[in-house]
Amino acid sequence: MAKKREIFYEPHPVSPERKAELIASGYKIRDAAYAPSGVVQAAKTEEFTPESIDTMKRADVIELLEAHGVEGATGKIGDLRNWLKRVMFV
């Protein structure tokens, strides 16, 4: 069964960079306008390196590619990881 991701309430519109950061940190993004009263959040952030991408799961790589504007990413996990590194580390 898939792990349920925590919701992060972020003011919209969300920049592609911020979206990628939140998704990679394991959050689902919702507009802050819909946050329950009293919700205060601080996102856990992660610095990405080519080495950290080499250990990412397929679903996380695809989500991060989508957050960077790549639609319909398919293929072998090694190819997807290399694609993500080319997108993130120009």
**Tens of each residue's pLDDT in the chain, 90 residues:** 556 778 888 888 888 888 888 888 888 888 888 888 777 665 555 677 888 889 888 988 888 888 888 888 999 999 999 999 998 887
So what's the pLDDT on residue 34? Answer: 85
Cα separation, 36 vs 33, in Å, equals 9
54 Cβ contact list (under 8 Å, min separation 6): 81
Eight-class DSSP state of 50: H
